[in-house]
Amino acid sequence: MVAKISIGSSLYGALCYNGEKVNKENGRILGSNKIIIPVDGKADIGQMAENFRMFMPKMGKTKKPVLHISLNPHPDDRLSDQDFEILAREYLDKLGFGEQPYVIYKHEDIDRHHIHIVTVNVNEEGKRLNQDFLYRRSKKITTELEEKYNLHKAQREKISPDTPITKVDSNGDIKRQVANTVKMVGMRYKFQSMGEYNAILGLYNVRCDTADGRVNGREYHGLVYFATDDNGNKIATPLKASRLGKFASRTAIDGRFERAKEKIDLAPTKRKVADALSQSSDKDDFVAKLKERNIDVVFRYTDEGRIYGVTFVDHDTMKALNGSRLGKDFSANALNARFSQQSQPTEQAPTATVVPIPTPTNTTSESQSTSSAGTAQTQAAASTQNQTSQSDSGDYDFTLPGLDLFQPGQSFNPDEEEFRRRMQRKKKRGHRPKF
């Protein structure tokens, strides 16, 4: 049996978290001490908070008086509600909290049923209870209970360098899955911005948002994590970084940003992306060719469907890189221009209609005049065709990888013309991408 202990300052928050499980029929209240439980089994969060405050001093020095404990038996242990309640009360007695006000909840939202206990670590006089070696004592107690009741020995899940990262399963323990994903991503990958961080997390149905604000005149800067579905939609209650662990905090992630700057080598990823781009025929083909090179690409779109962000996640070198870090040719603007032009249908050249000109018979001068005019038109058309041919062979003779796909159709496109001029200016300045 694994016991997890959280020490905090928000009694209402702990009661609300468990009370919502009960009121949504994802849990039930098994028992309590000194706290009144409604007869209908529902959780009256406000009334329960008032009951707790009756046994707590209004003024005290303890800044974090709340203990939120979860007891997690091995999945192979089949325990009844009564068994759970007995374990919880005996655990609290051995820990020294048996006379404190507390509430025992059973969570049933996942297959592995477990219990939560909310209590306080100060007595009615405001004196803090003994918390010395709290976690060590807790471990000893759970071992004793396993032996006494013949339970399976359950250990905390250990994360090794070989542990695979999997997508969050909405039917599983959301908090545990999100915490494991965040921890393993932080251990293995290098990233330098929130966008790059989210590009990796998003592959496993997790998202992170910054939470900045002011409380009681003091600024705070934190992070909030979400579990999502494959389309990026939230599927569970947001999780503050503090609930996952220090590894998920704003301080820890900002530190990873800074350390990554000194360790990231762009060259290997840039070579693979350039190679895939030069061989791809369209965006889908580009994504597929990157997959073959063990790279995931994450595009971000505006409401109009324009690409405004792109991040490459290289699983071989374990790093995430925004396209602009690799060079302008791999930026969101460049890729949007390329793929949007490729997706446009090629316009057919208008078919020329030949209108026969009747030959006048009454005057020779008119015939000569008409003949001269026809010859002039033929020469002008030939000159125009020659100029167009020269323009096609000169202006679009790009040497950058894959830019041969930008061949213009026979109709004029202002977006293509602007892109062509921009590339010409780069050529005149001697711009070449470095691979």
Which of 165, 168, 176 is closest to 75 using CA atoms?
A: 176
Q: In whole angstroms, what is the distance from residue 93 CA to residue 144 CA?
A: 13
Tell me, rounded to whole angstroms, the distance of Cα 296 from its chain centroid: 13
pLDDT, residue 202, reads 95
Annotate 348-377 with DSSP letters as a single string. Answer: PPPPP---PPPPP-S-HHHHHHHHHHHHHH
Of the CA atoms within 13 Å of residue 23, those in its CB half-sphere come to 10
The radius of gyration of the chain from alpha carbons, rounded to an integer in Å, stands at 34
Helix (H, G, I), strand (E, B) or coil at 152: coil
Q: From 3.40.50.2300, 3.10.20.30, 3.30.930.30, 3.10.20.340, which CATH number describes the 2-148 domain?
A: 3.30.930.30
Task: In the chain, list all ranges with CATH 3.30.930.30.
Answer: 2-148
DSSP letter (8 states) at residue 158 = P
Q: pLDDT tens per residue, the chain (435 residues)?
A: 889 998 888 888 899 989 988 988 888 999 999 998 888 878 888 889 998 988 877 666 778 889 999 998 888 888 999 999 999 999 999 999 999 999 999 998 777 789 999 999 988 877 888 888 999 999 999 999 999 999 988 666 666 667 889 999 988 888 889 999 999 999 999 999 999 999 999 999 999 999 887 766 777 789 999 999 998 899 988 999 988 988 999 999 999 999 998 778 899 999 999 999 999 999 999 999 999 999 999 999 999 999 999 999 999 999 999 999 999 999 999 999 999 876 655 444 444 444 444 444 444 444 444 444 444 444 544 444 444 444 333 333 333 343 343 333 344 455 556 666 666 666 566 555 554
Q: How far apart are CA 342 and CA 368, in angstroms?
A: 49
pLDDT at 367: 43
201-232, pLDDT tens digit by residue?
999 999 999 988 776 677 778 999 999 999 88
Q: What is the pLDDT of residue 94?
A: 95
pLDDT, tens digit (0-9, with 9 covering 90-100), for 251-285: 999 999 999 987 788 999 999 999 999 999 999 99
Phi, psi of 168 (to 5 degrees): -65, 130
CA 242 to chain centre: 18
- Which residue is associated with the tokens 């996952």? 244
Residue 376: Cβ-neighbour burial (10 angstroms; 0-12, 13-18, 19+): exposed
Instruction: For residues 340 and 274, give the distance between their C-alpha atoms in angstroms, rounded to a whole number.
Output: 19
Specify the amino acid at residue 136.
Answer: R
Report whether 41 contacts 124 (CB < 8 A): no
pTM: 0.55
pLDDT of residue 155: 64
